[in-house]
Amino acid sequence: MGYQCTACGHALDYLEPNCPTCGAIDSIAATARSAPRARRTATPRLRLSAVPEVPIRRARCAVAAFDEVTGGGSVVPSSALVYGPAGVGKTSIALRVAASLARELRGDALYLSAEMPAVLVAHTARRLGLDLDALVVLEDGALEPVESAIDDRTRVLVVDSVQTVRAEGRLGDHAALEVAARACELARTRGLVALLLSQVNKGGREMGHEQLRHLVDVVLELARGELGGLELVCRKNRYGRAPVSASIT
């Protein structure tokens, strides 16, 4: 007999009260043991002195505060989680960053919108005076069509938002985690800059699984400053210092 989490499907050889992978409470159930798993091939150890140094490539955008808090521009490839309260301006900032990064990288930005139809995304981009030719909108609201929508010109991927994009027709914390994980994987394998927008709860924390923060390279908080202006705070940065804050103009 074996055990499995009913929330995420993680398999265990022993009984636990909560799932060690997704954290679901009282989700472990007994299952009939399947055939023994194939023995994994040992991963070779790597001495760090043998690992070649890879130069970090950065791309700057039209939002000076974004470049400042990320340590001099977005690393290519990389993934960033941008969270903040509803209406604070995450979509506007994401469009400004995405359009200018796409121009800098001589390609397009693919904008996966599950919260606004394409006509409203275009309206916002026009209001901001952005280059609409650099922005490609996918308004399906589902994760699955994204990979086929990425082409040779795609340089930036925006997910708006990880909580509202469906994964295999599902919404919720585990679906959001799946959406974020897939977007991060696409950024790494296709050489993209991925911007993942995230909602926050009443306590000011991003909604969804805490593991969202561990998946991405950079975590940015967008909030109202004391004088009413917008402030961008870098809470995590694998390629630079954190925390770092800057005012958006």
Domain 58-247, CATH class in plain words: alpha beta
pLDDT for 44 equals 83
Report the pLDDT value the prediction gives residue 17, as an integer from 0 to 100.
67
Residue 38 pLDDT class (50, 70, 90 cuts) = low
Using the 8-state DSSP alphabet, how is residue 40 labeled?
P
- Cα dihedral across residues 59, 61, 66, 71: positive or negative: positive
Return the pLDDT at 36. 55
E strands in the chain: 2-5, 11-12, 28-31, 58-59, 74-75, 78-83, 108-113, 135-138, 154-160, 193-198, 218-224, 230-237, 244-247
Residue labelled with tokens 């693919």: 110
Give the three-class secondary structure for 147.
Answer: helix
Angle, alpha carbons 207-111-201 (nearest 5°) = 15
For the segment 108-131, what is each residue's pLDDT rounded down to a tens digit? 999 999 989 999 999 999 999 999
Mean pLDDT confidence for 2-12: 75
93 pLDDT above the threshold of 70: yes
Model confidence pLDDT, tens digit, residues 229-248: 899 999 999 999 999 999 99
Cα–Cα distance, 186 to 165 (Å, whole number) = 16
List, in sequence order, every beta strand (DSSP E) within 100-204. Answer: 108-113, 135-138, 154-160, 193-198
- Predicted confidence (pLDDT) per residue in 41-52, tens digit: 777 888 999 999
Q: Would you list the domain boundaries of the chain? A: 1-36, 58-247
